[in-house]
């Protein structure tokens, strides 16, 4: 590449680089720096070292919130964002393409729905009175209305986030499965493999890369997401459905509180970055990413 071409390439990349620096790099550095301050509504950069991180050891709410975060993240991931997504993708590959596309389009509708509308729909479904969809069915069956949000807060946030989260993996896995050469399935059938054996020994190993991508991406997304929890349960009752990211948001922007503790909220968000990094490294080892990236070996007989 000549010098002129390098200059032209740099000029073309400069706008994108400026956007990345302005909207990603600078906020990340500012958040990291803010975590070492006790900044509040006065917006003073008063550096206190690791005091904000040491404060976490004295926060009696954090153990329960950490437990909520782990349960919420991995239950939603296993049951819906990966588990149900794989089942939906497999189901739509065994039906005519036209029917599969219609089914996928219907399942994708919640993702295109504004979060507040999606949350209100679920609040109607889970309404504690007989007017709610679920309770109307319970009453029709001879039961009494149930306060779903109060009695089952963790199940509510896993279900409501999982239903909308499964659509992303469904599309990715469907595309990956469709790209598998049919020769593999024909060879498995010739060997007498059942449908489950084909899925276990042919399909899943061949979509290992999409599985890694969706699992890692959705883990990071779930660790930092809180909007549907904020809309539907508000993190209650009594912090029973409050996750780490929602707690940091409330501290920084005055949800339950009015102190606007930006420094402590930033420190909490740094912990999420560490948790996400650890999870990514674990996935790297579990999915054997290096083996996937290795060049294929060709043997000459």
Q: What's the pLDDT at 301?
A: 39
Number of structural domains the chain divides into:
1
pLDDT (tens digit, 0 to 9) for every residue of the chain, 301 residues total? 677 887 788 888 888 888 888 888 888 898 889 999 988 888 888 899 899 999 999 999 999 999 999 999 999 999 999 999 999 999 888 888 888 888 888 888 888 889 999 999 999 999 998 888 999 999 888 888 999 999 999 999 999 999 999 999 999 999 999 888 888 888 888 878 787 888 888 888 888 889 888 998 999 899 988 999 999 998 888 899 999 999 999 888 875 555 788 999 999 999 988 888 888 888 877 766 656 555 444 443 3
Angle, nearest 10°, between helix axes 62-76 and 208-224? Answer: 150
For residue 100, is it within any domain? yes
> Among residues 236, 271, 263, which one has the least CA distance to residue 66?
271
Q: What's the pLDDT at 290?
A: 59
For residue 23, is it within any domain? no
Question: Cβ contacts of residue 100 below 8 Å, gap of 6+?
Answer: 92, 93, 174
Q: What's the pLDDT at 291?
A: 61
User: Rg of the chain's alpha carbons, rounded to an integer?
Assistant: 24
Report the C-alpha gap between 223 and 274 in whole angstroms. 11
Q: What's the pLDDT at 273?
A: 87
The residues facing 47 across adjacent strands are: 37
For residue 107, is it within any domain? yes
Q: What's the pLDDT at 297?
A: 44
Q: What's the pLDDT at 288?
A: 67
The residues facing 37 across adjacent strands are: 47
**In angstroms, how far apart are the furthest CA atoms of the chain?**
80
Report the C-alpha gap between 176 and 188 in whole angstroms. 18
Q: List the end-to-end C-alpha distance of the chain, in Å, as a whole number.
A: 40
For residue 3, is it within any domain? no
Per the structure, the complete domain to which residue 137 belongs is given by 66-241
115 to each of 112, 120, 124, 143, how far by Cα in Å? 9, 9, 14, 31
Q: What's the pLDDT at 152?
A: 94
Q: What's the pLDDT at 256?
A: 56
Q: What's the pLDDT at 191?
A: 79
> Among residues 242, 244, 250, 239, which one has the least CA distance to residue 223?
244
Distance, CA of 146 to chain centre: 28
243: left (phi over 0), alpha (psi -120 to 50) or beta: beta
Q: Pull the structure tokens for residue 29.
A: 């550095």
For residue 38, is it within any domain? no
Look up the CATH number of the domain holding residue 84: 1.10.3720.10
For residue 113, is it within any domain? yes
82 to each of 79, 89, 103, 290, how far by Cα in Å? 7, 10, 18, 22
For residue 89, is it within any domain? yes
For residue 297, is it within any domain? no
Q: Pull the structure tokens for residue 281.
A: 């490294």
Residue 213: CA count within 13 A, CB half-sphere: 12
Q: What is the DSSP string of 38-104?
A: ---TT----B-TTHHHHHGGG-TTHHHHHHHHHHHHHHHIIIIIIIIHHHHHHHHHSS-HHHHHHHH
């Amino acid at each position: 590449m000549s010098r002129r071409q390098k200059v032209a390439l740099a000029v073309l990349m400069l706008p994108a680089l400026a956007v990345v620096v302005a909207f990603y790099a600078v906020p990340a550095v500012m958040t990291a720096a803010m975590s070492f301050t006790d900044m509040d509504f006065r917006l003073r950069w008063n550096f206190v070292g690791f005091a904000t991180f040491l404060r976490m050891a004295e926060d009696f709410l954090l153990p329960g919130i950490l437990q909520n975060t782990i349960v919420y993240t991995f239950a939603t991931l296993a049951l819906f964002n990966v588990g149900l997504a794989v089942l939906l993708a497999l189901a739509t590959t065994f039906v005519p393409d036209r029917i599969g596309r219609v089914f996928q389009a219907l399942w994708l509708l919640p993702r295109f729905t504004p979060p507040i509308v999606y949350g209100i729909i679920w609040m109607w479904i889970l309404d504690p009175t007989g007017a709610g969809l679920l309770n109307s069915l319970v009453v029709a069956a001879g039961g009494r209305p149930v306060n779903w949000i109060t009695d089952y807060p963790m199940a509510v946030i896993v279900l409501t986030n999982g239903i909308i989260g499964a659509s992303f993996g469904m599309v990715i896995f469907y595309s990956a499965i469709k790209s598998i050469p049919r020769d593999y399935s024909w060879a498995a059938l010739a060997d007498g493999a059942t449908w489950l054996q084909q899925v276990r020994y042919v399909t899943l190993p061949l979509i290992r890369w999409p599985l890694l991508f969706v699992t890692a991406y959705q883990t990071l997304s779930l660790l930092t997401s809180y909007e549907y929890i904020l809309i539907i349960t508000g993190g209650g009752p009594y912090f029973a459905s409050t996750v780490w990211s929602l707690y940091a948001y409330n501290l920084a922007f005055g949800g339950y509180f009015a102190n606007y503790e930006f420094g402590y909220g930033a420190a909490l968000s740094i912990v999420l970055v560490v948790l996400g990094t650890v999870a990514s490294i674990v996935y790297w080892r579990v999915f054997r990413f290096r083996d996937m990236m290795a060049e294929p070996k060709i043997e000459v007989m």
